[in-house]
Amino acid sequence: MVNTLSFLPIPLLQWYGEHARDLPWRREPTPYRVWVSEIMLQQTRVAAVLGYFAKFMDAFPTVQDLAAAPEDQLMKLWQGLGYYSRARNLQKAARQIVDTFGGAFPTDYGDIRSLAGVGDYTAAAIASISFGQPVPAVDGNLLRVAARVMGDDTDITTTQGKRHFTAALQEIIPLDFPGQFNQAMMDLGAMVCLPNGAPLCQQCPAEAFCQARKQGEPKTCRSARPRSPGGWKSGWFFCSFVGERWPFDGGRARDSWPGCGSTPMSWPRRRALWRTGGSRER
């Protein structure tokens, strides 16, 4: 059986050459910059990350700067992005790089994967984009595009399904342009082969051979276990201050309560609104 994805790399890379998003971490794709951008992009849209990324790079231009940064400064820069454990894991990983790898970003996929807060997708993104290693960076975008192009209704949310599509992508990722391929797939999934609503098939480089389109089911992308859409919760919480600092600075509360771990405004009672559930944003 022919892997329909084998037809994709050439037209995809041609499309990417014309339509790639102009993003700061792509202009200078060092492993440090790619890593920071990928961590920021977890659960966060690209447009929201741009300003934070610029300020972060100004404050911590190297992994050594991040490793040595005071936690208060790091958390203040991160304030507003949410999911504060990401920032703490960034610094923990930066210190791993300094202590274990002599301050040089690891080049081996397994070593990258061993860093705090780095999963399979992030490790593959860094390895392919910064080091040219042919490893597919498989996230929701790549899974959705692969499932549609192949016309394959395997459930992409299961471990078996992810392995199935990862293997199919591994077969066709270009050895000479793995980073560009992964980024092109990310852009295609974000801009054309959309997760919600009708995909923009007439703008897609895979239009001629996409099996889902040929079958008249361009939205094909099976998920037997629909992901929770998430929601909003709100409530009051009360604070007591010690000088100008939160008494629970450093606790887990910072991931659940927006604003925790930062200098408060002027009132001892705040109304909080926070997001629950949801999926990775691009």
Active site residues: 38
- Please give the Cα distance from 168 to 139 (Å, whole number): 14
- Please give the Cα distance from 207 to 211 (Å, whole number): 9
Backbone angles phi, psi at 212, to 5 degrees: -65, -40
Q: Is 141 left (phi over 0), alpha (psi -120 to 50) or beta?
A: alpha
Q: Distance between alpha carbon 28 and the CA centroid of its chain, in Å?
A: 18
HSE-up (13 A, CA, CB side) for residue 181: 27
- Please give the Cα distance from 246 to 196 (Å, whole number): 41
- Please give the Cα distance from 49 to 42 (Å, whole number): 10
For CA atoms 127, 210, 13, 145, the dihedral sign is negative
| CA–CA distances in Å: residue 8 to residues 102, 133, 154 | 40, 19, 19
- Structure tokens, 53: 């990324």
- Please give the Cα distance from 130 to 26 (Å, whole number): 10
Q: Is 236 helix (H, G, I), strand (E, B) or coil?
A: strand
- Please give the Cα distance from 44 to 259 (Å, whole number): 17
Per-residue DSSP letter, 69: S
How crowded is residue 8: how many other Cβ atoms within 10 Å of its Cβ? Answer: 25
- Residue whose structure tokens are 């440090």: 32
